A and B are shown apart, each in its own frame.
Chain A
Amino acid sequence: MTRLSRLPPRDLEALSAYADGRLPPAEAQALEARLKREAELRAALDQIRTTASLLRDLPSVRPPRSFVLTPEMAGMRRRRMGYPALQLATAMATLGFIVTLGIDLFSFSAAPSALRVAAPAEERLLEAPAEQALPLGDAAAAGVPEAGAAMQAATPLEGAEMQMDALQATPSPAPTATPAPAATDSAYRAAPAPESGSPTPAPSIEGAAPMVESTAPPAAAESGVSTAPGCEACGGEQPLPPETPSEKSAGEPAAPTAEAVTEPGDALAGKGEAPTPAANAIEAPPPLEPAATVPPAGLPWLRWLEIALAGAVLLLAGLTLRARAKSR
């Protein structure tokens, strides 16, 4: 029994084309001469013809449905093209979130030192929130000097913006209109100055000491201790201002970081220090509860931006995953 596959490829091609009448005349004549002589070649030609006719006789199957396009289908490519666009948007939102978070964290370390130079009257009030915020900004909790150095990296303009945040975030019990502009002005000068960027926890303790009798819940103070080895000197009696800012400062920074915990790993990958404060925030859940009682109107715009971006990242990531699942 002959096997067509064993024919020389040249012969096979010639026979196949000949069967379709597509062999050039000269070659066709030569092949016809060979066909007269070689029975095996004739048999092969017959087999090729029969095979082709078997295929041709395959019944035409009626389609199971009509493939007429609906208007939605006509616009469907937008959805398929939406996948790369969604990927890009997710990446951009994640990047935006990280950058905003970074600016926010820097602002917490930058604010108190600039204020100390600019508005001593405000200092004591800002000290406690700032000290507690620091560990969130720096996972190693290496303390204030490093944060100060980090502040140097920030441009004066950023420093000024952050300062405005800090001032907005902390309601002033002594409502004097002058400190705020003074602080902003001085931020331009103060921010690059090294000594202003290296405050120690000590003055804050001294400065805040008179206000030991605080109304803040002890949980907030505990969180300050557990998240801030640099503030160990403060002990359990970490002084807190009588007003709510301490509660807020403990709660607010935790809020965006807690958001960050829910983010996919890649959102945090670029920010090595982020997971640690996040973990701290989880370890000390009590501060979160007072935060919930604080009216949201007190949140600065940067916070809102963070929350909005975190929400956008989650939403986009979800949409992207769904689009991918659909396209498979």
Chain B
Amino acid sequence: MDEAELLRQAQRGDLDAFNSVVLAHQTRAYNVALRVLGDGAAAADATQEAFISAYRSLRSYRGGSFRAWLLRIVTNACYDELRRRKRRPATSLEDLAPETEDGEPEVEAWLATQADGPERLSERTELVAAIQDCLDRLPDEFRVVAVLADVQGCGYDEVAQAIGKPLGTVKSRLARARARLRDCLQRHGELLPAAFRLQGEVPS
């Protein structure tokens, strides 16, 4: 059964049909939240919130790209969490510390094991941690665009739909997010691929 038909059934209140759609989209949704929030537990909560609110507001979905429609809800759930953190900065910092240092890389390490040998593993884990660290340092709205466009590979139009902003905003935010990320990653030089490091040494 195709997604459009499942969505029609879900709109009529068929929870099982909706859950089929959830299964198809949950990894992407979770990864968007994970990269935006930089915290596995918060990302899981935001993803769950997003699917609940997607189910509840399914009537407002009127065709078009369901992925973009869903990404907008996921993005909003992330913004909610980010706002909550700003209201309670002390606790959120505590929550963050063990998650980024211990929890999350472990998950990624588990994933990486399958592809890489053990000596490549720690390097790779460190690189992932460095990228996430640089993502975390971006302003929220830049990070969201960078995650959607570069991490998830969404097109400009899809990103524009997901963040509810015009195309021009997407372009300029993405450009500035990339520039900041690049400058931040430069500080983690030894972790980066050799080619990336060399390109930094431009005679000027």
Contacts and interface: CB of A to CB of B under 8 A. Distances in A.
Q: Are A and B subunits of one complex?
A: yes
Interface of A: 1-5, 7, 9, 12-13, 15-17, 20, 22, 39-40, 43, 46-48, 50-52, 54-56, 58-69, 71, 73-74, 76-77, 328
Contacts of B22: 66-69
A69 B17 CA distance: 11
Given A51-B181, A54-B131, A63 B26 contact: yes
Contacts of A64: 40, 44, 107
Nearest to A55: B150
Contact of B150 (A15, A52, A65, A68): A52
Contact of B171 (A5, A16, A76): A16
Interface stretch (B1-9, B59-67, B194-202): B194-202
Contacts of B84: 328
A255 to B, nearest CB: 42
Given A16-B178, A61-B107, A67 B48 contact: yes
Interface size grouping (class) on chain B: 35 or more
A4 B182 contact: yes
Contacts of B27: 60, 62-63
A59 B196 CA distance: 19
Contacts of A46: 199
Contacts, number: 148
Interface of B: 15, 18-19, 22-23, 26-27, 29-31, 34-35, 40, 44, 47-48, 51-53, 55-56, 84, 104, 107-108, 111-112, 127-128, 131, 146-147, 149-151, 153, 156, 171-172, 174-176, 178-183, 185-186, 192-193, 195-196, 199-204
A22 B156 contact: yes
Contact of A74 (B15, B149, B151, B201): B15
A60 B35 CA distance: 10
Contacts of B34: 61
B183 A12 contact: no
Contacts of A40: 202, 204
A56 B151 contact: yes
24 contacts: A2-B200, A2-B202, A3-B186, A4-B179, A4-B182, A4-B183, A9-B172, A13-B175, A16-B175, A16-B179, A39-B202, A40-B204, A47-B196, A54-B185, A54-B193, A55-B146, A61-B30, A63-B27, A66-B22, A67-B29, A68-B22, A68-B23, A69-B22, A76-B52
B186 A62 contact: no
Given A48-B182, A58-B35, A77-B56, 12 more contacts: A3-B186, A16-B174, A17-B171, A48-B179, A50-B182, A52-B178, A54-B131, A54-B196, A61-B31, A63-B47, A69-B19, A76-B52
